[in-house]
Structures are given as C-alpha cells and as structure tokens.
Amino acid sequence: MLDPDLLVVFCRVAETLNFSRAAAHLGLAQPVVTRKIRRLEEILGVSLFLRSNRGCTLTPEGKLLASKAAGVLLQLTHLKEEVGKSARGVTGTIAIGMTVAAGTLLAPHLMPAIAAQWPELRVELYEAVSRHLLNGVLNRELSVALLYDPPTDLGLHIQPLLMDRLYLAGPPEASAKFAALSRASVHDIAQLPLVLPVRSQIIRELMEDAFAEESLPLKPRYETNSPTMLKAMVSQRLGYTVLTMGSLEQDVADGKIAAIPLSDPGMSLTLTLVSSADYGQLRVVQLVADLISSLVRQLVESHQWPGTPQLMLSRSRA
C-alpha cells in the first residue's frame, strides 16, 4: 500500500534535490527523510535517486514519478475534501490556473469573492501560458484553468466565456499610423519589424496560418514566451507585436503602447474555463467555475475586460 506521506516527502526531495534541505522544509530529521525514501523505493521496486556528496539527482524512474506525484496528491486531496464535505460550507484547497491577462484582470476580483463566500476554502493561483495550463489540467495539477482555445477532443469539461480579439501593438508614436489604418491587415503587419510569441503559443500559430494563407514569410526579429517581455520590447521600440486587448489595455491607457484591431475577425481567441472530467464533477470546482463565469461576464459588461461574451452554456464535456 502506497502511503501518501511517502509521496509528499518524495516530492520535496525531488524539488530540492537535496535530502538535508528537504528535511528542513518538511520539519523532519534527515534520517527520517532518508528512511521514507528508501521505504518508497522498496515499495516500488526501483531506485528513485542517485546520491552524491553534492546532493542527488533523479533516476529515469524518479523523473517519471515526479511528473505524476503532485497530480496524485492533488487528486487524493480532492477526494478527501469531497467525501468529507458537510453542510457547514466549502473547505479544502483548489488550484486555479490563469493566463497572464486573465490573472491580471480577474484575480483582484476573484480572490475577495471566494473569501467572502467560502472563507474556509484555500486557493492556490498559478499563472502560465495556455499550453502549460492545459498540461496542468490533464496532469490533475490544476483543479480548473482559464485558458485560450483548448482542444475539444480530450474529454475535458469546457465552458467558453468570451471572445478576445487580437490587436497589433506598437510604440506610442505609432498611434497616428494606426489612426489612418483603422484596422491592420496581414499585409500591413508583414511590413513591420515583429516581436512575437514563440512557436508553441496559440497567437503565433494563428499568425503563421494567416501569413501562409497570403503566401507571406513570417520572420520575427525577436521571440519570447512572455507577454510582459513582448510589451516591454514594443515600448522600447524594438518592434511590433500581436496580443489580446486584455493583455494590452493597461499599457494603452498609460500611453506606453498604441494598438489597433486586426482586420480579420477570425484572428481572435476564445477564453475558456477548463477542468478534467473527474475534477469537473467536484462540487467545489463547480462552485468556483460558476463564480469565475459570473465575474468574467460582469467585468465584460462593465467594460473592465475587453472582449465579447460567449453564450454561457452549462459545462460541457468535449
């Protein structure tokens, strides 16, 4: 029988790659940590770490366990919370993932709302690009995530919330040029020096498809996976980029960046609530998902979040 406590100790050692530091973080004596890891290795029948004077490294089997253990522990936590829930209210822990733009706009409203409704619920917020958030959902490391354009063939619970249109962003002095254009076409963008998201990100994929349809080469000057870095490079006049208005709104309001919508209405992203099929059935996940949906709609309708609300359908299984 695999003791969850052994997985907790394993995760800490895998994170620090040092038995002494892991013991200090766990509040245990190092020999206790060593015994627990040996016990786990005996149960699994494999070596999980290679020890050395400088610390330790994960074996291939250890790397495999490290990729799964956090999700297993989170599932056990949710199971315990669901089985042990009572009429007194919502308790336990929920892990929520968000994109940078969603986190910036939603988190300041979401956290107080959760605290007011469910004061005993502990919330862990994580920020990442959509691809990493999706992996977190699939690995059960996240209870629910707010991300762009998830695939529809993975058996996930999905709920579209809003359509976020893409904008061409440039330095402040580009505002006059943008005013003359009204909207930016792919051919307009092709004439500019570009700083773009890396190839693994959704916006980059849309840009590559749009350029390919027009038989235009797409050769960005710089690439990064960080919207914050993209905006910084634009404000420093290193090039132009393409992002959602949710990501750009504050910088535009502050006069740091000028922006114009893209002319192709298909150049947009759908912000979607996503959870795994099993987590999506948990009461706490459903309650928080409904709250997020309500807050996003309120923010859009009050013009605090740029975007077009999608029809709020009940959670569906893709």
φ, ψ for residue 15 (rounded to 5)?
A: -75, -45
Q: Is 269 exposed, middle or buried (0-12, 13-18, 19+ CB in 10 A)?
A: buried
pLDDT mean over 65-94: 75
Percentage of the residues of the chain whose pLDDT score is greater than 90: 55
- Taking 80 as the threshold, does the pLDDT of residue 307 lie above it? no
Q: What band does 77 get if pLDDT is binned at 50, 70 and 90? A: confident
Taking only the tens place, the pLDDT of each residue in 151-197 is 888 889 999 998 888 999 999 999 888 988 889 999 999 999 999 99
Number of domains observed in the structure of the chain = 3
Q: Are residues 155 and 278 in the same domain?
A: yes
Mean local confidence (pLDDT), 50-57: 87
pLDDT band at 1 (very low <50, low <70, confident <90, very high): low
Same domain, 210 and 61: no
Q: What is the mean pLDDT of the chain?
A: 88
**Domain end point (choices 230, 247, 268):** 268
85 is a domain residue? no
What pLDDT score does 315 carry? 44
Tell me if 295 sits within 8 A of 110, measured CB to CB: yes
Q: Which domain, by its residues, includes 234?
A: 164-268
- Tell whether 172 and 251 lie within a shared domain: yes
What are the pLDDT digits (tens) for 103-124? 888 999 999 999 999 999 999 9
Query: Residue 298 domain-assigned?
Result: yes
Q: Give the separation between CA 207 and CA 295, rounded to whole angstroms.
A: 30
222-224 and 195-197 strand pairing: parallel
Question: Which of 247, 268, 289 finishes a domain?
Answer: 268
Q: Are residues 43 and 65 in the same domain?
A: yes
* One domain, residues 41 and 73: yes
Q: What is the mean pLDDT of residues 32-38?
A: 92
Residue 314, pLDDT > 50, answer: no
- The confidence score (pLDDT) of residue 311 equals 43
Per-residue model confidence (pLDDT) at position 184: 93
Handedness of CA 111, 113, 116, 120 (dihedral sign): negative
Amino acid identity, position 177: K
Last residue of a domain, one of 46, 79, 112: 79
* pLDDT above 70 coverage of the chain, percent: 93
Q: At what angle do helices 60-84 and 283-301 cross, to 10 degrees?
A: 90
Strand ranges (DSSP E) for the chain?
49-52, 55-58, 92-98, 121-127, 144-148, 157-170, 195-197, 222-224, 241-244, 258-261, 268-275, 308-309, 316-317
Confidence of residue 60 (pLDDT cuts 50, 70, 90): very high
Q: Is residue 49 part of a domain?
A: yes
- Note the pLDDT of residue 309: 63
Closest CA to 47 of 37, 32, 55: 37
Q: 252 and 130: one domain?
A: no
Residue 177, pLDDT score: 87
Round to whole Å and give the CA distance between 216 and 170.
21
Q: Give me the mean pLDDT over the 41-47 stretch.
A: 91
Q: What is the mean pLDDT of residues 281-295?
A: 92
Predicted pLDDT of residue 107 = 93
Closest CA to 247 of 98, 102, 96: 102
CA distance 227 to 140: 26
Domain CATH number, residue 176: 3.40.190.10
- If you average pLDDT over residues 277-306, what whole number do you get? 89
Task: Give the model confidence (pLDDT) of 80-102 as tens digits.
Answer: 766 655 435 688 899 999 998 88
Residues 156, 274 share a domain: yes
Secondary structure (3-state) at 187: helix
15: domain CATH number? 1.10.10.10
What was the pLDDT predicted at 312?
40
